[in-house]
Amino acid sequence: MVGVLLVRILCKTPHFTVFRWTELLVLLIWGAVQELAVELISTGSSGWAFVPHWWNPVMFRFNGSDITLIPQLIWLIAPIIFYLAAVRVRKAINVT
């Protein structure tokens, strides 16, 4: 919901009516930043750790914990799916 709020604050109205790169970019940046922050906080406090594999390589190490690629990729794909669905739903219900 914070991503939607950021789109409303940073992008021109109307929001989520047609595909706009600026709206998608806001969601992508927010998704990447929040995922990285959550992962850094969690792995830094031993909340969880990802085990690196060939399919989930280490991007970098933080406080002795591995920060892996797959969670970042998920938050690269999730905002795209959300944004496309939001635009489609908005068109379908014709909200102004």
pLDDT digits (tens, 9 = 90+) for 49-71: 777 888 888 888 888 888 888 88
pTM: 0.83
User: Rounded to whole angstroms, how far apart are CA atoms 29 and 82?
Assistant: 14
Peptide bond into 57 cis (omega under 30): no
Long-range contacts, 69-74 (Cβ 8 Å, 24+)? 71/35, 71/39, 72/32, 72/35, 72/36, 74/35
For residues 75 and 81, is the Cβ–Cβ distance under 8 A?
A: no
Token pair of 64, please? 């002795």
pLDDT band with cut points at 50, 70 and 90 for residue 95: low
- pLDDT value at residue 56: 86
pLDDT at position 96: 56
What pLDDT, in 10s, does the model give residues 14-46?
A: 999 999 999 999 999 999 999 989 888 887 777
Amino acid at 23: E
